[in-house]
Amino acid sequence: MLSDYIDSHYARTRLALPPWPAAEGEIEVETCVIGGGLAGLNTALTLAEMGRDVCLLEGKRIGWGASGRNGGFVGAGGYARDLASLVRAFGVEETRILHDLAREGWQLVRRRIETYKMSGIGRKDGILVASWFNDDDGLQRHRDFMARHFDREYQFINRAAMAEMISSPRYYGGLLDREGFQFHPLNYCLGVAKAASGLGARVFENSPAIGLDLAGAEKRIATPGGRIKARNVVFAMGGYQGGLYGNLHGKLGRAVLPIATYVMVTEPLGDNRLRQAIRVPYAIGDTKFATDYYRPLDDSRILWGGRISARLREPSHLKAKMLADLTKVYPQLKGVDGDLAWMGTMSYAGHKMPQIGTLGPGIWYAQAFGGSGMSTTSMAGLLLAAAITGQDDRYRHFARFGLGWAGGDLGRLAAQMTYWGLQLGDASRVARKN
């Protein structure tokens, strides 16, 4: 039976495109990409733009995983691991290179939306970070740090200006990044797949890779209906390795922790009710470690994301839990109903940086983009395509982070404990700083 998208706001509002076929019979190709999330799609599109012969296998539908069901925040340069921690570990120069690579990914997203005239994207500029803590000095220090080392312009928002923008008893000041933007991530995935197909990439849906033979120069990949021969294989399977598809590649699967996180959309609030809470079109995140992130949609709903869990099953009463998070921040919205809520799985490495690299001749991978993959997956596609075609080896900036074991079930337990610890830490920081 053919798979379909999970029920999400994005699936309900996606572009009506005909599905891509499943892989059938013998297929010979230069590069076979496994995984139709943005890491795989961007690699396929970049190779197709270079005129190379590429196919992409997606086990379900294009953008079915994290890439098509996320918060839709497109940051202008950054990773799951914060830049200050990278500076401490590797110095300013190397961190600047890493930052600028992510920024290149962000630029590429913007450019591709224009170049391929993608529709249904709904791009809106501006990401507002709202602080739960009475710490204007800390916000201004962060603004200065980003300007000094990374040429980024964050605007400091004082408490009064924040109150003009949004009405929440939780927030103090904040920072506005006018370069970051929001968009419809599933339509973007579909736009990238369409662009790649238009340039000759062979895109296959409902085509899980279920068998591999990586020995020798000619790699072989089996799907239920197809046998692919390729000189290069790119693994881009995100957090969906293991359970759903089995462990296709043990080393890559062991190097990531799949972590669940959640999104909800409210019913349409009506413009007046929405404006009682949010009066700006920005995507909004907060400064807690256990972040809430949300954005008003054009039809006056709020799309609300947050929480993480090492349990990969959707929790009971998810919608009610997300509504409770929302009304904690906006008590004036009590009584608002949720339309639907859904779960997605991210992939994290222990070091919280993307894993981009090679396991030997013709074997490539891009995974572990954590909760900030919208720009960095574009960057990964660029780096891998350049490496595969021998143009440059900039992907090596990620080599130092490695494919260390992410800890399996113990790692998941540790991640869960860390998250709970961070939630407690947030509560005590609120008490101390405010």
Q: What residue ranges bind ligand FAD (CB under 6 A)?
A: 34-40, 57-60, 64-67, 69-73, 75, 208-209, 236-241, 245, 248, 261, 263, 305, 344-346, 367, 369-374, 377
Report the nearest approach of ligand FAD to the CB of residue 139 (Å).
Answer: 21
Residue whose structure tokens are 């600028």:
100
Query: Under the phi-then-psi rule, with left for phi > 0, alpha for psi from -120 to 50, and beta for the rest, what region is 63?
Result: left
Using N-to-C axis directions, what is the helix angle for 83-115 and 373-388, rounded to 10°? 80
Least distance to ligand FAD, CB of residue 244, Å: 7
Q: How far is the CB of 160 from ligand FAD (least distance, A)?
A: 28
Residue 12 sits at φ, ψ, to 5 deg, of: -70, -25
Which residue, 87 or 384, has its beta carbon nearer to ligand FAD? 384
Measured from the CB atom, is 139 or 236 closer to ligand FAD? 236
Q: Are strands 219-222 and 226-235 parallel, antiparallel or unpaired?
A: antiparallel
Residue closer to ligand FAD by CB (options 172, 303) is 303
Distance of closest approach, residue 140 Cβ to ligand FAD, in angstroms: 25
Q: Which is nearer to ligand FAD, 64 or 172 (CB)?
A: 64
In the complex, least distance from residue 163 CB atom to ligand FAD, rounded to whole angstroms: 25
The half-sphere exposure of 391 on its side-chain side, counting CA atoms within 13 A, is 12
Nearer to ligand FAD, 172 or 292 (CB): 292
Contact at 8 Å (CB) between 354 and 18? no
Q: Residue 422 in contact with residue 268, Cβ under 8 Å?
A: no
Question: What span, in angstroms and rounded, lies between the C-alpha atoms of 48 and 201?
Answer: 6
Half-sphere exposure of 418 (CA within 13 A, CB side): 11
Beta bridge partners of residue 125, listed in sequence order = 181
Give the shortest CB-154-to-ligand FAD separation in angstroms. 18
Tell me the C-alpha distance between 241 and 37, whole Å: 13
What is the smallest separation between the CB atom of 217 and ligand FAD, expressed in angstroms? 22
- HSE on the CB side for 82, CA within 13 Å? 8
C-beta closer to ligand FAD: residue 130 or 172: 130
Sort 116 into a burial class: Cβ within 10 Å, 0-12 / 13-18 / 19+.
Answer: middle
Q: Which is nearer to ligand FAD, 191 or 371 (CB)?
A: 371
CA 433 → CA 138, 156, 331, distances in Å? 11, 19, 22
Of residues 40 and 362, the one with the C-beta less far from ligand FAD: 40
What 8-state DSSP symbol labels residue 74?
Answer: E
What are the residues facing 204 on neighbouring strands? 57
Residue 5 Cβ vs ligand FAD, minimum distance, rounded to whole Å = 10
